[in-house]
Amino acid sequence: MSDSPLVDPLLDDAEDDDFDALVGSDDVDLPRDRYTDREISWLAFNQRVLELAEDPELPLLERSNFLSIFASNLDEFFMVRVAGLKRRIVTGLAVPTNIGTPAQKVLEAIGSEAQGLQARHAAVWSETVRPALSAEGVDIVDWTELTDSERAGLYEYFQQQVFPVLMPLAVDPAHPFPYISGLSLNLAVRILNTRTGREEFARIKVPPMLPRLVRVPAKGDDERVRLLPLETLVAENLSDLFPGMEILQHHAFRLTRNEDVVIDEDESENLIQVLEEELLRRRFGPPIRLEITEDMDEHTLELLLDELDISEQEVYRLPAPLDLRALSELGDLDRPDLKYTKHVPVTALALRPTDSDSKHAKADIFSAIRQGDVLVHHPYESFATSVQAFLEQAARDPQVLAIKQTLYRTSGDSPIVKALIDAAEAGKQVLALVEVKARFDEANNIEWARILEKSGVHVVYGLVGLKTHCKIATVVREEHGQLRHYTHIGTGNYNPKTSRLYEDMGLFTADPVVGRDVTRLFNELSGYAIEKKFSRLLTAPLLLRQGLLRLIERERQNALDGKPARVRIKVNSMVDERIIDALYRASMAGVRVDVWVRGICSLRVDLPGVSDNIRVRSVLGRYLEHARIFLFENGGSTEAYIGSADMMHRNLDRRVEALVSVTRPTHVKELSQFFDLAMDDGSSTWHLGAEGSWERHHRGPDGEPLVDVQDRTMTLIQRRRRARTARGSV
pLDDT for the residue 461: 80
Measured from the Cβ of residue 513, the count of other Cβ atoms closer than 10 Å reads 15
The length of the chain, given as a count of residues: 730
Claim to verify: residue 200 and residue 293 sit in the same structural domain: yes
Claim to verify: residue 356 and residue 332 sit in the same structural domain: no
Query: How confident is the prediction for the chain on average, in pLDDT?
Result: 88
Cis amide linkage into residue 379, ω under 30° from 0: yes
Q: Kindly report the backbone phi and psi dihedral angles of residue 65, in degrees, each rounded to the nearest multiple of 5, phi listed first.
A: -65, -35
Residues 643, 647, 653, 656: what is their CA dihedral angle, to the nearest 10 degrees?
-10
Mean pLDDT of 352-366: 72
The CATH number that applies at residue 502 is 3.30.870.10
**Of the ranges 130-134, 208-212, 422-426, 448-452, which one carries the lowest mean pLDDT score?**
448-452
Residue span of the structural domain in which 431 resides: 349-531
pLDDT tens for 491-527 read: 999 999 999 999 999 999 999 999 999 999 998 888 7
278 pLDDT more than 90: no
Taking CA atoms, 644 is separated from 52, 538, 570, 572, 628, in Å, by 27, 11, 11, 10, 6
The strand pair at 213-215 and 374-378 is best described as unpaired
Q: Report the predicted TM-score, pTM, of the whole model to 2 decimal places.
A: 0.90
Claim to verify: residue 497 and residue 605 sit in the same structural domain: no
Banded pLDDT at 361 (limits 50, 70, 90):
low
pLDDT for the residue 730: 43
pLDDT tens for 600-646 read: 999 999 999 999 999 999 999 999 999 999 999 999 999 999 999 99
Rounded distance, CA 256 to CA 237, Å?
27
Helix, strand, or coil here: 107?
helix
Q: Pick from 313, 338, 363: which residue ends a domain? A: 338
Banded pLDDT at 450 (limits 50, 70, 90):
confident
Claim to verify: residue 211 and residue 353 sit in the same structural domain: no
Claim to verify: residue 316 and residue 374 sit in the same structural domain: no
Claim to verify: residue 407 and residue 355 sit in the same structural domain: yes
Helix, strand, or coil here: 632?
strand
Claim to verify: residue 569 and residue 672 sit in the same structural domain: yes
Q: Is residue 50 part of a domain?
A: no
Q: Is residue 90 part of a domain?
A: no
Conformation bin of residue 665: beta by default, left when phi > 0, alpha when psi is -120 to 50? alpha
Q: Is residue 385 part of a domain?
A: yes
Claim to verify: residue 255 and residue 391 sit in the same structural domain: no
- Which class for 5: exposed (0-12), middle (13-18), buried (19 or more C-beta within 10 A)? middle
Residues 522, 436, 210, 297: what is their CA dihedral angle, to the nearest 10 degrees?
-130
What stretches of 620-673 adopt beta strand conformation (E)? 624-625, 628-632, 639-643, 655-662
What stretches of 277-425 adopt beta strand conformation (E)? 287-293, 315-318, 374-378, 400-407
Q: Contact 684/622 with Cβ under 8 angstroms? A: no
DSSP string, 537-582: EEEETTTHHHHHHHHHHHHHHHHHTTS--EEEEEES-B--HHHHHH
Banded pLDDT at 448 (limits 50, 70, 90):
confident
Mean pLDDT of 362-374: 94
Measured from the Cβ of residue 297, the count of other Cβ atoms closer than 10 Å reads 12
Claim to verify: residue 309 and residue 412 sit in the same structural domain: no
pLDDT tens for 296-311 read: 999 999 999 999 989 9
Q: Pick from 290, 318, 338: which residue ends a domain? A: 338
Banded pLDDT at 543 (limits 50, 70, 90):
very high
pLDDT for the residue 276: 52
How many domains, the chain? 3
pLDDT for the residue 10: 29
Banded pLDDT at 594 (limits 50, 70, 90):
very high
Banded pLDDT at 173 (limits 50, 70, 90):
low
Claim to verify: residue 543 and residue 435 sit in the same structural domain: no
Rounded distance, CA 328 to CA 330, Å?
5
Q: Is residue 192 part of a domain?
A: yes
pLDDT tens for 2-38 read: 333 333 322 333 334 344 444 444 444 899 999 999 9
Rounded distance, CA 675 to CA 240, Å?
60
Rounded distance, CA 65 to CA 720, Å?
31
Measured from the Cβ of residue 375, the count of other Cβ atoms closer than 10 Å reads 21
DSSP string, 243-265: TTEEEEEEEEEEEEE-------G
Claim to verify: residue 606 and residue 503 sit in the same structural domain: no
Q: Which one of the listed residues 469, 485, 626, 667 is annotated catalytic?
A: 469
Taking CA atoms, 54 is separated from 31, 48, 72, 186, 625, in Å, by 37, 10, 17, 28, 20
Instruction: Verify whether residue 251 is a known catalytic residue.
Output: no
Q: Is residue 669 part of a domain?
A: yes
Q: Pick from 473, 503, 531: which residue ends a domain? A: 531
Which residues, at least 6 apart from 186, have a Cβ–Cβ distance to it below 8 Å?
A: 180, 203, 204, 205, 206, 252, 253, 254, 255
pLDDT for the residue 92: 81
The CATH number that applies at residue 221 is 3.30.1840.10
Q: Is residue 54 part of a domain?
A: no
**Of the ranges 8-22, 250-264, 579-593, which one carries the lowest mean pLDDT score?**
8-22
Q: Is residue 379 part of a domain?
A: yes
pLDDT for the residue 280: 58
pLDDT tens for 109-163 read: 999 999 999 999 999 999 999 999 999 999 999 999 999 999 999 999 999 999 9
Rounded distance, CA 200 to CA 328, Å?
36
721 pLDDT more than 80: no
- Nearest residue to 527 via CA among 448, 455, 460, 438: 460
DSSP string, 56-78: TTS-HHHHHHHHHHHHHHHHHII
Q: Is residue 75 part of a domain?
A: no
267 pLDDT more than 50: no
pLDDT tens for 311-357 read: 999 999 999 999 999 999 999 999 999 999 999 999 999 998 875 54
Claim to verify: residue 549 and residue 443 sit in the same structural domain: no
pLDDT tens for 60-95 read: 999 999 999 999 999 999 998 898 888 888 888 777
Q: Which residue has the higher pLDDT, 271 or 180?
A: 180
